[in-house]
Amino acid sequence: MQQGGSRRMTATAVALQVDDIHKSFGRLEVLRGISLSARDGDVIAILGSSGSGKSTFLRCLNLLEHPDQGAIRLRGEALDLVQSRQGGGLSARNARQLAAFRARIGFVFQSFNLWPHLTVLDNVIEAPVHVKGVARAEARDKGLALLEKVGIAHKRDSYPSHLSGGQQQRAAIARALAMDPEVILFDEPTSALDPELVSEVLGVIRALAEEGRTMLIVTHEMGFARDVASEIIFLHQGRIEEQGPPSEIFHHPKTERARQFLAKHL
Ligand code: ADP
Ligand code: MG
């Protein structure tokens, strides 16, 4: 069970602060003002029906999508969203700042998104070497330790297509960890997996929670969210419909929509 209770007794710093994020695609308003705060060690599970804006929200947080409005702060440091919106028009210096900011937030995708032409180990060391400028030998040592940690060191020289989905996702988690991110975002990390492979990936994420990693996880694994999350956020049509500790959301949902959603998914 979660150590969230004991964690809350010690003062922790705010790792990620998000204020009033809005995002539209053309006339479709997908995010209608989302705010949240993740303190060090928080594990926030984001629930909601398909199309409620969960992926768009996570993508806004590391600027795979550019929010139309709102603020994102990492350890109190605000990211200049106006600057980030200019995309291709960034000066080299601003582009570097944006890349540096992005490197502080890890992202694990539903579909793994490993480089198919690189071995597992090369996938893991690619960003440390090319984005952070870490020496190759050092990146390799650390990469091997991370593969060990997620239980796939024996696959280090294999290509992603030769791995099971669960192994690929564990490689993707090792790749995210290799950048020492301050926050890790997971977008339905087990939804693309065969049922028998789900638990090996959830086990890795659970271990990261136990280490005190700060994570936001979009998931439909309700048992996992209930056991591991320190906080649950329920999104509906681009707004936070309900928010609170798992005990409250799962046992005493306040809104009819959350009740219906849980009835369908529990
Ligand atoms: P969820 O992850 O909760 O299923 P998404 O964030 O993927 O929801 O999508 C929310 C809504 O935004 C959906 O209606 C989806 O079709 C739309 N949407 C997402 N990405 C784009 C995009 N790049 N262009 C246009 N519409 C998009
Ligand atoms: Mg999604």
Nearest protein CA to atom 22 of ligand 1, as residue: 25
For residue 127, the CA-to-ligand 2 centroid distance in Å is 25
**Residue 177 backbone dihedrals phi, psi, to 5 degrees:** -65, -30
Report how far ligand 2's centroid is from the alpha carbon of 90 (Å). 28
The tokens describing 63, both together, are: 């600027």
Which residues line ligand 1 at a C-beta cut-off of 6 Å?
25, 28, 30, 48, 50-56
Question: pLDDT 10s digit of each residue in the chain, 266 long?
Answer: 444 444 555 668 999 999 999 999 999 999 999 999 999 999 999 999 999 999 999 999 988 898 999 999 999 988 877 666 655 555 666 777 788 888 999 999 999 999 999 999 999 999 999 999 999 999 999 999 999 999 999 999 999 999 999 999 999 999 999 999 999 999 999 999 999 999 999 999 999 999 999 999 999 999 999 999 999 999 999 999 999 999 999 999 999 999 999 999 88
Angle between helices 165-177 and 136-149 (to 10 degrees): 130
Q: Which ligand sits closest to the CA of 52?
A: 1
ipTM of this complex: 0.98
pLDDT value of position 266:
82
Identify the pLDDT of residue 100: 84
Cα separation, 235 vs 243, whole angstroms = 9
Question: 217 has which bridge partners?
Answer: 45, 186
Distance CA 214, CA 16 (A): 9
Nearest Cα residue to atom 25 of ligand 1 = 25
Q: Residue with the nearest Cα to atom 23 of ligand 1?
A: 25
Compute the distance from residue 53 Cα to the ligand 1 centre, in Å: 6
pTM above 0.95, yes or no: no
Look at the alpha carbons of 56, 247, 177, 124 in this order and tell me if their dihedral is positive or negative: negative
- Neighbouring residues of 202: CB distance < 8 A, sequence distance ≥ 6: 190, 221, 224
